[in-house]
Structure formats: structure tokens, C-alpha cells
Amino acid sequence: MQQHSLKERTRPHDHEVPEGDQGGGQGGARAPLALIVVLAVLALVSTVGWITTAGRSGQADRTAAAAQAAAAHNQVPHTHGPPGGPLVAPKDGVLAMRVDELPKFAVNFEWKPGNLLFAAGQPVTLKIANNDTMQHNFTFKPVKAAKNLRVGTTTTISFTAPKPGTYRFYCKYHLQMMQGAITVR
């Protein structure tokens, strides 16, 4: 049996770290980088999954809301207080309405008046003055009325009031904020 001295049996590259390579060599530098990449990919996948799930539930909510709106058949949705103030009935079948110029810091266009009252089958003539600096539109689907309201003009719209119920009319250009109600008795 050969005896080797401790110095001969121990090779420097087996136990010693060369100077300047305290991080375990290039392989040691790759391990933390690989871990960072894996964690970033996991975070991204989790985020995408959450967004996809949230989008699907939002889509289902929108679909349900659309179904409810269709079921209401153009009926006015519940709002916080009556839109456009008290009910206003035409005199001799004619009702003057207006859209005022939007004040400098205002955010909502309004119909004035915004709550109209008609008798079922009543011939109605609306005379709508657009006093705003931009074009609007009057749309009332139950009677197939849809007319653009040019700036600085008064537009006449005539129709026969539909069957009893509460309906909405709106500006197709500012649909989310410019709606009114028509109550037919």
C-alpha cells in the first residue's frame, strides 16, 4: 500500500476557490439569474391568468346587463333621481326643448326639459334648439325618430306617442351622459 502525503492527495482545484471567483464561477452566477427568470415568468403567468379571469367575469356581467337592457325594451333604467327634472307635457301637441352650451368646467350635456309626458297615441311635435357649440342628436327608438341637431338651429321632430310606458331618448353622440325620459300614460 502506497502512502501519499496529505499534500499529494489534496488537489487545489478540489477544495480551493481561486482568487476572484468567490461566487462559485460562472455556474454560480447563472443559478441566481435562472431563479430570477423563473420567478418573473411565474409572476407574469399569474398576472395574465388573473387578468383573463377578471375579463371573463366582466364580460359575463356586461352580457347580463345587455340582456336586462334588451328585456326592458327601451325602458328607462333606474337613475339617482329623475333625469332632467319634473315631467313636462306639450301644449297643443308642441313642446319646446333645448340643449344649452356646456359651461366651461361642466362634464354632462343635458336635455331641457329631460322628463317628457305624453298621452298614448298623441301627435307630438318637438322643437329642439341646439344652443351648444357642437352637434347633438335626438334618438327615440320606439317611434323610429333619429335626427341630428345642428349647432345654432332649431330642429322640428314630429311623431305619435307610443303605447303607455316609460321610455328613454338620447343623443347618439353623447349616449352615456345625455339621456332623457318619456312617460306615456
The answer to whether the Cα torsion of 16, 19, 22, 23 is positive or negative is negative
What mean pLDDT comes out for the span 77-102?
A: 73
Looking at the fold, whether 56 and 122 belong to one and the same domain comes out as no
Looking at the fold, whether 100 and 44 belong to one and the same domain comes out as no
Q: What percentage of the chain exceeds 90 in pLDDT?
A: 37
Looking at the fold, whether 98 and 179 belong to one and the same domain comes out as yes
The answer to whether the Cα torsion of 141, 144, 148, 153 is positive or negative is negative
Question: Which of the two residues, 109 and 45, has the higher pLDDT score?
Answer: 109
Quick: pLDDT tens for 148-164. 999 999 999 999 999 99
Looking at the fold, whether 100 and 176 belong to one and the same domain comes out as yes
Number of domains in the chain: 2
pLDDT class for 79, splitting at 50, 70, 90? very low
User: Mean pLDDT: which of 89-93, 159-163, 173-177 is highest?
Assistant: 159-163
Quick: pLDDT tens for 10-51. 555 555 555 555 554 555 567 788 878 777 776 666 665 555
- The amino acid present at 28, given as its one-letter code, is G
- Tell me if 158 is assigned to some domain: yes
Mean pLDDT, rounded, of the chain? 75
With CA atoms as reference, report the closest residue to 151 among 95, 101, 96, 97: 101
Looking at the fold, whether 67 and 98 belong to one and the same domain comes out as no
State the residue range of the domain holding 46. 1-71
Q: Which of 71, 106, 128 is the last residue of a domain?
A: 71
